[in-house]
Amino acid sequence: MTDSSALLTPLLAPQDQISAADHGINAEEWQRLTNRLGRVPNLVELGIYSVMWSEHCSYKSSRRHLSKFPTHNERVIQGPGENAGVIDIGDGQAAIFKMESHNHPSYIEPYQGAATGVGGILRDVFTMGARPIALVNALRFGSPDHPKTRSLVAGVVAGIGGYGNCVGVPTVAGETEFDEGYNGNILVNAMAVGLADQDKIFYARGATPGNPIFYVGSKTGRDGIHGATMASAEFSEGEEDNRPTVQVGDPFTEKLLIEACLELMATDAIQAIQDMGAAGLTSSSVEMADKGGIGIDMDLDKVPQREEGMSAYEIMLSESQERMLMVLKPGKVETAKAIFDKYDLDAEVIGMTTDTGHMVLRQLGEVVCDIPVAPLAEDAPNYDRPWLAPPARKPLDSSTPAREQDALKILLTLLSCPDMASKRWIWEQYDRHVMGDTLESSQSLGDAALVRVHGTSKALAISSDCTPRYVLADPYEGGKQAVAESYRNISAVGATPVAITDNLNFGNPENPATMGYIVKAIEGMAEACRVLDYPVVSGNVSLYNETDGQAIPPTPVVGGVGLLDDFRRATGLGQAQSGDTLILLGTTAGHLGASLFARHILGLSPKDMGPPPPIDLAREKEISDTVRSLVLNGLVHAVHDLSDGGLACAAAEMALTSDLGLDLGDQSLKNLFSEDQARFIVAANDDQLSRWPKGLSVEMIGTFGEPSGMLSVNGEVLPLEKLRKAHEDWMPNYMASVATE
Partner 1 sequence: MKSAIVVFPGSNCDRDAQVALSEVTGYEPEMIWHKSGALPDDLDLVMVPGGFSYGDYLRCGAMAANSPIIASLRRHAERGGYILGVCNGFQVLCETGLLPGALIRNASLHFACKPQTLEVCEPETAFTRAYGKTANITIPIAHHDGNYVADETALDRLEGEGQVAFRYVGNPNGSARDIAGVLSENGRILGMMPHPERAIGPHEGGDHGRALFQSLIASI
Residues that bind partner 1 (CB under 8 A): 158, 161-162, 165-168, 250-253, 255-256, 342-344, 427-441, 443-444, 452, 568
Rounded to a whole number of angstroms, the minimum distance from the CB of residue 425 to partner 1 is: 8
* CB of 325 or CB of 570, closer to partner 1: 570
Q: CA–CA separation, 40 vs 715, rounded Å?
A: 79
Cα 228-230-232 angle, rounded to 5 deg: 75
Annotated catalytic residue within 23, 65, 102, 226: 102
- Is the Cα dihedral 8, 14, 18, 24 positive or negative? positive
- What single DSSP character describes residue 404? G
Q: Which of 721, 714, 715 lies closest to 661 in space, CA to CA?
A: 721
* CB of 153 or CB of 396, closer to partner 1: 153
Give the CA dihedral 410, 415, 417, 420, nearest 10 degrees.
Answer: 140
Cβ atoms within 10 A of the Cβ of 692, count?
18
Q: Is position 454 annotated as part of the catalytic site?
A: no
Rounded to a whole number of angstroms, the minimum distance from the CB of residue 459 to partner 1 is: 10
Segment holding 150, helix H or strand E:
helix 149-167
* CB of 344 or CB of 687, closer to partner 1: 344
- What single DSSP character describes residue 406? G
Q: Which residues contact 277 (CB under 8 A, 6 or more apart)?
A: 120, 123, 124, 283, 284, 319
* CB of 452 or CB of 679, closer to partner 1: 452
Secondary structure (3-state) at 727 = helix
Q: Which of 286, 257, 275, 487 lies closest to 379 in space, CA to CA?
A: 286
Rounded to a whole number of angstroms, the minimum distance from the CB of residue 423 to partner 1 is: 13
Per the CB < 8 A criterion, the answer to whether 138 and 426 are in contact is no
Rounded to a whole number of angstroms, the minimum distance from the CB of residue 208 to partner 1 is: 34
Q: Is position 102 annotated as part of the catalytic site?
A: yes
Rounded to a whole number of angstroms, the minimum distance from the CB of residue 227 to partner 1 is: 23
* CB of 154 or CB of 367, closer to partner 1: 154
Which residue pairs, CB below 8 angstroms and at least 24 apart, start in 649-653?
A: 649/411, 649/414, 649/415, 649/420, 649/596, 649/673, 650/681, 651/582, 651/681, 651/701, 651/702, 652/411, 652/415, 652/711, 652/723, 653/415, 653/445, 653/573
* CB of 229 or CB of 441, closer to partner 1: 441
Q: CA–CA separation, 472 vs 608, rounded Å?
A: 12
* CB of 574 or CB of 593, closer to partner 1: 574
Q: CA–CA separation, 471 vs 481, rounded Å?
A: 8
* CB of 201 or CB of 434, closer to partner 1: 434
Q: Which of 415, 506, 480, 425 lies closest to 182 in space, CA to CA?
A: 506
* CB of 250 or CB of 287, closer to partner 1: 250
Rounded to a whole number of angstroms, the minimum distance from the CB of residue 153 to partner 1 is: 12
Per the CB < 8 A criterion, the answer to whether 493 and 447 are in contact is yes
Secondary structure (3-state) at 2 = coil
Annotated catalytic residue within 56, 104, 640, 727: 56
Q: Which of 89, 161, 148, 152 lies closest to 118 in space, CA to CA?
A: 161
Q: Which residues contact 458 (CB under 8 A, 6 or more apart)?
A: 89, 90, 91, 452, 563, 564, 565, 566, 567
Q: Which residues contact 326 (CB under 8 A, 6 or more apart)?
A: 213, 214, 216, 270, 271, 272, 273, 274
DSSP code per residue over 55-84? HHHH-TTTHHHHTTS----TTEEE-BTBSS
* CB of 158 or CB of 349, closer to partner 1: 158
Rounded to a whole number of angstroms, the minimum distance from the CB of residue 631 to partner 1 is: 17
Q: CA–CA separation, 88 vs 369, rounded Å?
A: 41
H helices within 239-311, ranges in order? 251-265, 280-292
Rounded to a whole number of angstroms, the minimum distance from the CB of residue 448 to partner 1 is: 13
Q: CA–CA separation, 147 vs 258, rounded Å?
A: 38
H helices within 13-66, ranges in order? 17-22, 27-37, 43-52, 55-58, 63-66
* CB of 166 or CB of 689, closer to partner 1: 166
Rounded to a whole number of angstroms, the minimum distance from the CB of residue 256 to partner 1 is: 6
Rounded to a whole number of angstroms, the minimum distance from the CB of residue 447 to partner 1 is: 15
Secondary structure (3-state) at 447 = coil
Secondary structure (3-state) at 537 = strand
Rounded to a whole number of angstroms, the minimum distance from the CB of residue 411 to partner 1 is: 26
**Active-site residues: which are they?**
56, 102
